[in-house]
Amino acid sequence: MNRYILGIVGTLVLVGCKTTPTEQYLNLQLTEAELLSEKWRKLERFPPLYPIEDARAGKEGCASVEYVITPDYEIKDIKVVSSTSKYFAKQAKLNIKKWKWSELPKGILKESIKTNTQFQFCLETGDGHCLENSSYENSQCSGEDSIYSIGQRIKRRG
């Protein structure tokens, strides 16, 4: 009986901890394309890896992600708003955490801010279509701040 009660209490504590950040940042208004402003120019941002699953399938697409940046440059409450593939969504979320936040000078933010970034994934086939903006115009994802990941189609031998 005691194990059962401890299990329930443990589960409630874990669930409570998991939902706290969302509630904490729930009332933050989205600041569209915040990272395009001058104060973030020193942030080293790079494109995500092209997901191997989608490269093998010859799939192109996008993922739009919202997230909160704290004054200590912690990235919290990452949410995929839209995505054409679960693999694109996963790579976009991982990539935001990998940007060089710790190398930024202190004091850029006084309070937490919610922003968004759009990630476009394009497979280069040798015709240069990934270099043209037209390949991204019909995207299902929206956002002014876009990061482009260009991949190569993987062909299996044998």
**Please, what is the Cα angle at 141 between 135 and 75, to 5 degrees?**
125
pLDDT tens, residue by residue, 118-142 = 999 998 877 777 876 555 555 677 7
pLDDT tens, residue by residue, 69-93 = 999 999 999 999 999 999 999 999 9
Tokens of 52: 């191997």
Q: Using CA atoms, how far apart are residues 1 and 5, in angstroms rounded to an integer? A: 6
How far does CA 87 lie from the centroid of its chain? Answer: 11
In which element (H, E) is residue 51 found?
none
Domains present along the chain, CATH in parentheses: 30-152 (3.30.2420.10)
Q: Using CA atoms, how far apart are residues 101 and 44, in angstroms rounded to an integer? A: 8
Q: What is the pTM of this model?
A: 0.79
Tokens of 136: 């991204």
